[in-house]
Amino acid sequence: MTTEIKVPVLPESVADATIATWHVKVGDTVSRDQNLVDIETDKVVLEVVSPEDGVVTEISQEEGATVLGEQLIALVGAAGAVATPANTQAPATAAPASEGNPVDINVPVLPESVADATIATWHVQPGEAVSRDQNLVDIETDKVVLEVVAPEDGVMGEHIHAEGDTVLGEQLIGKILAGAAPAAASAAPASAAASDESSDVLTPSVRRLIAEKGLDASKINGTGKNGRVTKEDVDNFLKAPAPAAKSAPVAAAPAPVGERTQKRVPMTRLRKTIATRLLEAKNSTAMLTTFNEVNMKPIMDLRKQYKDAFEKRHDIRLGFMSFYVKAVTEALKRFPAVNASIDGDDIVYHNFFDMSIAVSTPRGLVTPVLRDCDKMSCAEIEKNIRSLALKGRDGKLTIEDMTGGNFTITNGGVFGSLLSTPILNLPQAAILGMHKIQDRPMAVNGKVEILPMMYLALSYDHRLIDGKESVGFLVAIKELLEDPTRLLLDV
């Protein structure tokens, strides 16, 4: 006997609802009055419970789907009923393997600030052997890439969600057969056509790469399992020299001048998030930028004098960022509004100093957080910044690394930027742009001197920070950097 699970009757003022959270999955045993799913309207969240004991045999509407009143969303059968997969799209099937125990591969728990994620890359295909702690799949959120590893040795089973699919925290995305071994290859192919078919199977990432490059997959020699084309095969194909013509034409046509090619690549999730947040900051704040310049000679002289002793004692190079962070922290103490943020109609003043440091990574610009800067020495600041930069480069930054921050420092000078107007990192009220240190002629006591000068740019939300405060804040940073003794004496 099968029992239909439907959306409750919705009030007349509510047109539709959304599947918020499934608390069970296909194949789960449920008991009478157990909450199966939360359904969210624009006013309330409705709980739908099981009318009897049984097994969930089908889920026809996934989380995020829009549904109507009394719409069928699932089936519950008697104990022992055969479950039907929820997705209508056929999942990737695993190659035959020796029997093993199925183990679910789920999306990790996502923080409250992250709504969903995207399957970025499957590193293991169905039927391939996996080892414990081997990275199976990369899952990309708005901020970081999460690696999901195999909990045990075995064989990769089905991919329930393919690359590019949007998934939720703890959602089932695949299975492995724990303890299984890959099936032995067949003694001989059933036919030449069957052999060709196996060699033409492409993974989603390889298929996308071939499409981007405008290549013909049939012309690429596959070296993977069963002749499968791998990313390395595509790279080698692109690097290989073009075959020479068998015979020269009598009158060769003139060669085109240069290549006129183009490629279309979808934005990564991080790039889309960066675009959205920058546009939001530009459109939702009264952003203004004020400028100043600083003579970097005192810090450069200090650094030259002590850099070797500093590195020998602390095992880290003495850079400029520790001076920047120290100066900004001191200036934030003097101007609390710059360290504040707007929350609705309230101003939130932060009595701690967590600094977001803009870091360029292969995936885009990210802003990991350096916490409690007021309690750090220069050596601790340099070590922590280096650690965040390496984690960003290697894609190892965590949600915790990226969360929070009251103020941002971005140093475009490392790329040669002479002057810029940085955009706010919401919900922060200000961001400081550092720039290239460049020798310029300056008037000093009536004489012209060549000094290493750097422009400072402070972008701020004028709704919260007045011009007097913004200029005073920037002047304080200038004075502290031009006379670093002030940082030690607190003057």
Tell me the DSSP string of 291-350. EEEEE-HHHHHHHHHHHHHHHHHHSS---SHHHHHHHHHHHHHH-GGGGEEEETTEEEE-
Q: Quote the CA–CA distance of 140 and 266 in Å, as a whole number.
A: 14
The CATH number given to whatever domain includes residue 47 is 2.40.50.100
Contact 124, 156 (CB under 8 A): yes
The answer to whether residue 53 sits within a structural domain is yes
347 plus 483 within the same structural domain:
yes
436 plus 295 within the same structural domain:
yes
Catalytic residues: 462, 466
297 plus 446 within the same structural domain:
yes
293 plus 365 within the same structural domain:
yes
Task: Please state, in angstroms and as integers, the Cα–Cα distance from residue 196 to each residue in 185, 191, 192, 209, 228, following that order.
Answer: 15, 9, 6, 21, 10
Q: What is the pTM of this model?
A: 0.55
Nearest CA to 425 out of 433, 434, 415 is that of 433
State residue 381's pLDDT score. 94
State residue 43's pLDDT score. 64
285 plus 346 within the same structural domain:
yes
Q: Quote the CA–CA distance of 216 and 212 in Å, as a whole number.
A: 11
410 plus 474 within the same structural domain:
yes
> What phi and psi values does residue 481 have, to the nearest 5 degrees?
-75, -35
The strand ranges marked E within 150-272 are: 154-159, 166-167, 172-178
- Token digits of residue 312: 């020998």
State residue 349's pLDDT score. 95
Q: Provide the domain count of the chain.
A: 4
320 plus 391 within the same structural domain:
yes
The answer to whether residue 172 sits within a structural domain is yes
The answer to whether residue 264 sits within a structural domain is no
The answer to whether residue 450 sits within a structural domain is yes
DSSP class of residue 152 equals: S
State residue 84's pLDDT score. 52
Helix then strand then coil, % of the chain, to nearest 5: 25, 30, 45
CA dihedral 199, 204, 209, 213 (to 10 degrees): 70
> What phi and psi values does residue 4 have, to the nearest 5 degrees?
-85, 135
State residue 191's pLDDT score. 40
Residue where the block lists tokens 């991080």: 270
DSSP string, 81-136: PPP--S-SSPPBPPPPBS--EEEEEEPPPPPTT---EEEEEE-S-TT-EE-TT-EE
- Of 144, 178, 212, at which residue does a domain stop? 178
User: Can you list the pairs that 301-309 forms with residues at least 24 positions away whose Cβ atoms lie under 8 Å?
Assistant: 302/484
174 plus 204 within the same structural domain:
no
> What phi and psi values does residue 54 have, to the nearest 5 degrees?
165, -155
CA dihedral 196, 197, 203, 205 (to 10 degrees): 60
Q: Quote the CA–CA distance of 205 and 213 in Å, as a whole number.
A: 12
The answer to whether residue 223 sits within a structural domain is yes
State residue 335's pLDDT score. 96
End-to-end CA distance of the chain: 81
The CATH number given to whatever domain includes residue 213 is 4.10.320.10
The answer to whether residue 253 sits within a structural domain is no
283 plus 355 within the same structural domain:
yes
Residue where the block lists tokens 């309230």: 346
For residue 206, the tally of other CB atoms under 10 A from its CB is 21
Residue where the block lists tokens 């996308």: 208
For residue 427, whether the previous peptide bond is cis, meaning omega lies within 30 degrees of 0, is yes
The answer to whether residue 133 sits within a structural domain is yes
Question: Which domain range does residue 27 map to?
Answer: 2-77
132 plus 73 within the same structural domain:
no
174 plus 223 within the same structural domain:
no
Kindly list the averaged pLDDT for each block of 10 residues, start to end, along the chain of length 491.
Answer: 86 75 89 88 79 90 85 84 50 52 88 78 90 88 82 90 87 89 52 43 63 79 71 80 56 66 79 84 92 96 92 92 95 95 93 92 84 94 91 83 92 89 93 95 94 96 94 96 82 56
Q: Quote the CA–CA distance of 181 and 116 in Å, as a whole number.
A: 33
234, burial (CB in 10 Å: exposed 0-12, middle 13-18, buried 19+): buried
Q: Quote the CA–CA distance of 42 and 63 in Å, as a whole number.
A: 16
Pairing outcome for strands 172-178 and 101-106: antiparallel
> What phi and psi values does residue 169 have, to the nearest 5 degrees?
-60, 135
State residue 379's pLDDT score. 93
Q: State the number of CA atoms in the 13 A half-sphere of 361 facing the CB.
A: 25
156 plus 225 within the same structural domain:
no
Contact 461, 285 (CB under 8 A): yes
Q: Quote the CA–CA distance of 165 and 89 in Å, as a whole number.
A: 12
The answer to whether residue 313 sits within a structural domain is yes
